[in-house]
Amino acid sequence: MDVLDTYLERYKETPFKWSKFDCTTFIISYIDDMYGTTLLRSSVEGRYSDFRTAVAYALSSGKEWLYVESELPTQTVKIGNLQRGDLVCYSYECWNPMAVMVDDYRVAVVTIKNGLEITPLHNLQGVVKIIRVKE
């Protein structure tokens, strides 16, 4: 198993919980595990606790992928050149979350209703950009 498989296995039965296991903490924790950053602790942890405070945090903090781009060397990727592990940045309402590519067509994302989901990329609303962390 690689890092992504291990990470997905660890959280496959975890229920959604604001600031503990939500779309932001899932991806930021994955990035911390994969690349040795401390983005969760320095940028996200303890900043919200429910829907209302999550909305306020999302509006004040801006796009989630900016955290990643500020800490790691990244490149923008075109849809036809996707790879496992690429980060898909998308947008709806006030949120600007991310998902991670698990294969050529599907992403891992956390939802309020189901927790961790592996879903087709085309199910994400408003894909804005895709970034790859350069090794």
Instruction: Please give the Cα distance from 134 to 114 (Å, whole number).
Output: 31
Per-residue pLDDT tens, the chain, 135 aa: give them: 688 999 999 999 999 999 999 988 999 999 999 999 999 998 888 899 999 999 898 888 888 888 888 889 999 999 889 999 999 988 877 677 889 999 989 999 999 999 999 999 999 888 889 999 997
- The whole-model pTM stands at 0.89
Looking at CATH, the fold of the domain delimited by 3-133 is given as endopeptidase fold (from Nostoc punctiforme) (3.90.1720)
